[in-house]
Amino acid sequence: MKAIMTVSAQDRVGIIADVCTLLSDLGVNILDLNQTVMEGIFTMTLLVDTATSSHTFDEIRDAVIRKGEAGNLVIHIQREDIFTAMHRV
Amino acid sequence: MLNISDIMQTVSMIDHQHLDIRTITLGISLYDCADSDITKCARKIHDKVCRKAEHLVETGEQIEREYGIPIINKRISVTPVAQAAASCESEDYSVIGQALDSAAKECGVNFIGGFSALVHKGFTNSDRRLIASIPETLSSTELVCSSVNVATTKAGINMDAVALMGRIIKQTAYRTASQEGLGCAKLVVFANAVEDNPFMAGAFHGAGEPECVINVGVSGPGVVWRALQEVKGESFDVVAETVKRTAFRITRMGQIVANAASERLGVPFGIVDLSLAPTPAKGDSVARILEAMGLETCGTHGTTAALALLNDAVKKGGVMASGHVGGLSGAFIPVSEDEGMIAAVKAGVLNIEKLEAMTCVCSVGLDMIAVPGDTSAETISAIIADEAAIGVINNKTTAVRIIPAPGKKVGDSVEFGGLLGNAPVMSVNGAGSEEFIARGGRIPAPIHSLRN
């Protein structure tokens, strides 16, 4: 399943490293990644493929949310189709 | 990949602007549950509902997790019980209401609709029995919703039914007096009721519907309000365009959830209902959208025009985003369920007469309005007649969901809790309508019903 992951947080060193290490540990493949800092707020969106992982979507979702809570990051992971449906005619 | 600001916009709509799917409603036909023995009929209904809706809640929750979009309610609508139970040899249909209630609890849904009768042209024996059983059913169940259709543009207004429903509403309030008349919050009197409405309390599974069907109701007043903050001072052309764009996005999300639910449950997709449904939460109010167009308080002069624009733009934006649009589709104005409406009533700006005018241009009627407990049955019937006339003449659905709150007077408040909210008791016109309601009979269908 393709999913969009969004990460926002107060900018600091190592956010990308933390998130990408977690995804790598879960076996989730990153297909695309955008990152910017807007007014001190770190914002990143990732297009990921969960099919490469041995974990279920629910397990991946719980793991990234736990990671977010531990590292003061607001993380969401949602199926990609909802974004395409809302923003493409 | 999509651009970062589009993605963050969606996330923010869900996180901060109360964007959600208001309801996934599974419609279930009960025609094959008929039995002359009402106990057997009730058991067949209970078993069928439990069988068909077994996976509804868990499927809804799985969709929520995968799409990251809250689905607030999972609900069930059934064939109007007056039709499904017509062959029962019993005067009291509350047994069936209780079977529906227990099935709803077993399935984990939060409402089940369809304790209903369609009497716009006249009563069958079964319709009479069902209507007489409404007060007992609504006082002995928690999750059952009831509705009665008393008028259509094709048939006119059944004034005998209008008179009867005034009395039934009063009895229901009396029977649920310990909960401030809560039973009446689950009872809707319709004109031009639709067969595929996913919203409660008025949902039922109409005669033209398939065996089972998934209907989805979207929400999103907070998102529209937010979008309007960006166009302060701009012309109405810009306002309409902004609402349309926002409604398109909201509806696309509803459609994708509807498709997923339909596929996973193996049940055909029926419709997406394009309604802006408020909740009592701050930032989820239709009244505040109207105020964002430049009105000091909802209910002042200009409110009807603002609502007309909003209702129309929501439909125009939504219609292209969904394969099949249906249900009520428009903006809802339930007083107790809308934080801005409650504030407007408390400020003395919004009254029942203005609400009636607003129902001429939006998708529902006088909805979730508490009136003094001593309001007569005839006055309630006359309020229903006025609303029905608006629906019949304008070819639209209208409804009355009114709570004559026992022991309460103007200025008091009625607390229903949860999505049903908090209703300030509103004043009604004190002049009587007794002789008008006592006439009975039918108000004939209007000339424009003869379209063939």
CA of B406: how far to CAs of A78, B252, B364, B371, B413, in Å?
47, 43, 25, 9, 11
Chain A contact set for B12 (CB, 8 A): none
pTM for the whole thing?
Answer: 0.93
Put simply, whether A78 touches B (Cβ < 8 Å) is: yes
Of B65, B69, B255, the CB nearest to A61: B65
Task: State the best of A82, A88, A89 to mutate against chain B, taking most chain B CBs within 10 Å.
Answer: A82
How high is the pLDDT of residue B36? 96
Shortest alpha-carbon distance between residue B226 and chain A (Å) = 17
Between CA A26 and CA B156 the distance in angstroms is 64
Of B1, B10, B69, the CB nearest to A32: B1
Of B7, B252, B253, the CB nearest to A45: B7
Summarised one tens digit per residue, pLDDT across range A36-54 is: 998 889 999 999 999 999 9
- B186 touches B203 (CB < 8 A): no
Residues in chain B predicted with pLDDT less than 70, given as ranges, are: 1
Cβ separation of A6 and B253 shorter than 8 Å?
no
Task: State the best of A31, A45, A50 to mutate against chain B, taking most chain B CBs within 10 Å.
Answer: A45
How high is the pLDDT of residue B343? 95
Shortest alpha-carbon distance between residue B51 and chain A (Å) = 26
Shortest alpha-carbon distance between residue B274 and chain A (Å) = 15
How high is the pLDDT of residue B1? 66
Put simply, whether A6 touches B (Cβ < 8 Å) is: yes
Q: Which residue from B227, B224, B221 is spatially nearest to B280, judged by alpha carbons?
A: B221
Task: State the best of A35, A49, A65, A78 to mutate against chain B, taking most chain B CBs within 10 Å.
Answer: A78
Chain A contact set for B66 (CB, 8 A): 1, 57, 78-79
Report the DSSP beta bridge partners of residue A30.
Answer: A48
How high is the pLDDT of residue B16? 83
Nearest CA in chain A to B10: A83
Return all residues near B54 (Cβ < 8 A) that are at least 6 apart. Answer: B107
Sign, CA dihedral B292-B296-B298-B301, equals negative
Q: Which residue from B103, B121, B125 is spatially nearest to B112, judged by alpha carbons?
A: B103
* pLDDT > 70 fraction of chain A, expressed in percent and rounded: 100
Summarised one tens digit per residue, pLDDT across range B70-95 is: 999 999 999 999 999 999 999 999 99
Return all residues near B192 (Cβ < 8 A) that are at least 6 apart. Answer: B149, B151, B152, B153, B391, B392, B395, B396, B397, B398
Cβ separation of A36 and B65 shorter than 8 Å?
no
Cβ separation of A36 and B256 shorter than 8 Å?
no
Nearest CA in chain B to A84: B2
- B370 touches B426 (CB < 8 A): yes
Task: Say how many CB pairs under 8 Å bridge A and B.
Answer: 64
